[in-house]
Amino acid sequence: MPKYIYSAKTDDAKTIRDIEEARSREELVAKLRARGLFIVSVKEVKEREGRPSRIFRFLHKKGKHTSISVYDFAFLARNLATTLSSGVTLLRSLELLASQTESIKLEKVLADCSRCVREGLSLSEAVAKFPSVFSPLWRGIVEVGESSGNLPFVLDKLAEYLELRMEFERRIKSALVYPVILIFAAILAILVFLKAILPKFITLFEEFEVELPMSTKIIFGLSRIVERHLFFIVVGVILVGVGIYLFIKHPRTRELWNRTQLKMPFVGQLTFLGCLERLSSTFYILLDSGLPLVSALEVCARGVGNVIFEKAIFSIKDKVRDGAALSSEFSRFLIFPLLISEMVRIGEETGTMPEVFHRISIHYQKELTTRVERLVAAFEPAMIILMGILIGGMVISLFLPIFQLSTLGVGG
C-alpha cells in the first residue's frame, strides 16, 4: 500500500506533518477531512532518484537478520534524511524506520531511541546511549546537524559516504573470495586424505609388513592423529582463534597487536593504507558537514581503528587546539606520509580542506584496492603450487610402499 506525506492544519491553526498509508490520495484526503483537518498538501513517498540511492527503497523489506551491516546504516541515514526533509517529525521518522529496517538489533535500538526522543532527549543524546552501535562518526554527524539546524543535509552526506564505503568494501571482498575458497579447499582436501584415505592403506601395509619410508611414516602418523583426535583438533583451533580474538580486543594488548600488525609483511602495508583511507574519508565527511577541526580530529581518532594512529591524532588535536597548524602537526609524525602534510598545507592556504581530504581518500582507496588485487593475483598461483606440493608429496609417499609391494610380488 502506498505511503503519503501530508501537511494539514487543525481548527486552531496548528500545522501537522506526518506520513500515512492509504490506497489512494483521495482516500487519504477523505480520512483527514473526517478528522476535521484542513489539507495543505499530500505527496506520495517515492524512491529517491540517483544511482547511489536507488538500492535503498523506502518500503524495501526482506528477511530479518540479527547483525547490523553497513547497508542497514546507509538505509537508516538515507531514509531518515528523506523523511525529515519531507517534514515528518523526528519521532515519527524513527518509528517508521524501526519498522522498515531489516536488522532486528537496529530495530530494537531505533525503538529505544524513539522512546528517548519521546522523553525529551535530542537525537544526538539518544544516539550517544548506544556507543557500541553508533560509531563516533555517526554521533559527530548528528551533533553537527542538530547544532546547525540542517540535520537532513548532513545525514544525506553521511548516506553518500556509507554507500561509497559499501561499494569500496564490496570490491575488496570480491577480490578475496577466490583465495579464501582455495584455502578452504586445500584444508578440506588434506583432512579428507588424512582421515578417510590413508587409514585404509595403513592397514594394508601392516598386513604385508612392508618397511615404510620416513616420509610415509610421517604422513601415516599425521593420519592417526587426525583420525583419533579430530574433535580435539577442531576444538583446539576454535579455542586458539577465540584466544587470538580476545588478545586483539583487550585494551592492554591491543596496542602491541596494532604495532605488530603494521610490521607484518604484506598485511602491514594493507593495514597502514586502510588506516589512512579511513582517516581521510572520515575527515572529509566531517569537515564537509561543518564539524569544527578539533572536534573532527577527535572523531577521526576514535574511528581510525588503530591505537598507534589514534594516539598520534589525539596529540595533533591537542596541538591544533592550542593554535598549531594542522599541516605542520601531520609532518611531526613519521607514520603519516609526506603526501598528507603537503596536501593539507595546500588546503590551509586555499581554504579547501574538505576537498583536499576527499582527494586524499580517493587516492588511498585506489592504492589499497590495487595492492589487494596484486596480492591476490600473486597469492592464487602460490596457493595452487603449495597445494600441489602438499597433496603431491602425500601421494608420492603413499605410492612408494606400493612400489615395494609390487617388487616383492615380482620377486616372489
In 3D, which of 85, 4, 96 has the Cα closest to residue 43? 4
Mean pLDDT over 109-132 rounds to: 89
Residue 52 has pLDDT above 50, yes or no: no
Mean pLDDT over 10-37 rounds to: 76
Mean pLDDT over 162-185 rounds to: 81
Residue 239 pLDDT: 94
Which of 17-26, 98-107, 255-264 has the weakest average pLDDT? 17-26
Cβ pair 130, 139 in contact under 8 A: no
pLDDT digits (tens, 9 = 90+) for 260-277: 888 988 888 989 998 999
Angstrom distance (rounded) from CA 12 to CA 164: 46
Report, at the CATH architecture level, how domain 48-134 is classified: Up-down Bundle (1.20)
Residue 249 pLDDT: 81
- The reported pTM is 0.68
Residue 14 has pLDDT above 70, yes or no: no
Angstrom distance (rounded) from CA 406 to CA 177: 44
Phi, psi (deg, nearest 5) at residue 51: -60, -50
Residue 367 has pLDDT above 80, yes or no: yes
Beta strands 38-44 and 3-9 are: antiparallel
In 3D, which of 1, 109, 121, 135 has the Cα closest to residue 58? 1
Residue 412 has pLDDT above 80, yes or no: no
* Higher-pLDDT residue of 185, 54: 185
Which of 62-66, 275-279, 295-299 is most confident? 275-279
Phi, psi (deg, nearest 5) at residue 5: -95, 125
Which of 22-36, 43-57, 260-274, 388-402 is most confident? 260-274
* Chain Cα centroid distance, residue 171: 12
Q: What's the whole-number average pLDDT of the chain?
A: 82
Residues in contact with 21: Cβ distance below 8 Å, sequence separation at least 6, in sequence order: 1, 2, 3, 4
Burial class of 175 by CB neighbour count within 10 A (0 to 12, 13 to 18, 19+): middle
Residue 15 pLDDT: 62
* Higher-pLDDT residue of 187, 410: 187
Phi, psi (deg, nearest 5) at residue 41: -155, 150
Q: Which H or E run includes 408?
A: helix 353-411
Residue 316 pLDDT: 93
Question: What distances in angstroms separate CA 350 from CA 282, 339, 359, one per listed residue?
Answer: 21, 17, 15
Beta strands 15-21 and 38-44 are: unpaired
Angstrom distance (rounded) from CA 326 to CA 293: 9
Domain 165-412 annotated CATH 3.30.413.10: no
Mean pLDDT over 205-226 rounds to: 81
- The CA dihedral of 341, 342, 345, 346, to the nearest 10 degrees, is -140
Read out DSSP for 42-63? EEE--PPPSTGGGG--TT----
Mean pLDDT over 319-334 rounds to: 90
- C-alpha cell recorded at residue 56: 535503498
Residue type for position 208: F
Read out DSSP for 59-78? T-----BSS--HHHHHHHHH
Mean pLDDT over 275-303 rounds to: 86
Cell 579464501 -> residue: 180
Mean pLDDT over 157-182 rounds to: 81
Residue 157 pLDDT: 83
Cell 603413499 -> residue: 398
Question: What distances in angstroms separate CA 405 from CA 336, 361, 397, 408, one per listed residue?
Answer: 65, 66, 14, 5
Cβ pair 32, 7 in contact under 8 A: no
Confidence band of 406 (pLDDT split at 50, 70, 90): low
Cβ pair 307, 254 in contact under 8 A: yes
Residue 57 pLDDT: 42
Residue 409 pLDDT: 52
Percent of residues, the chain, with pLDDT higher than 70: 90
Angstrom distance (rounded) from CA 291 to CA 317: 14
Residue 62 pLDDT: 47
Cβ pair 121, 269 in contact under 8 A: no
Residue type for position 251: P
Residue 168 pLDDT: 78
Confidence band of 410 (pLDDT split at 50, 70, 90): very low
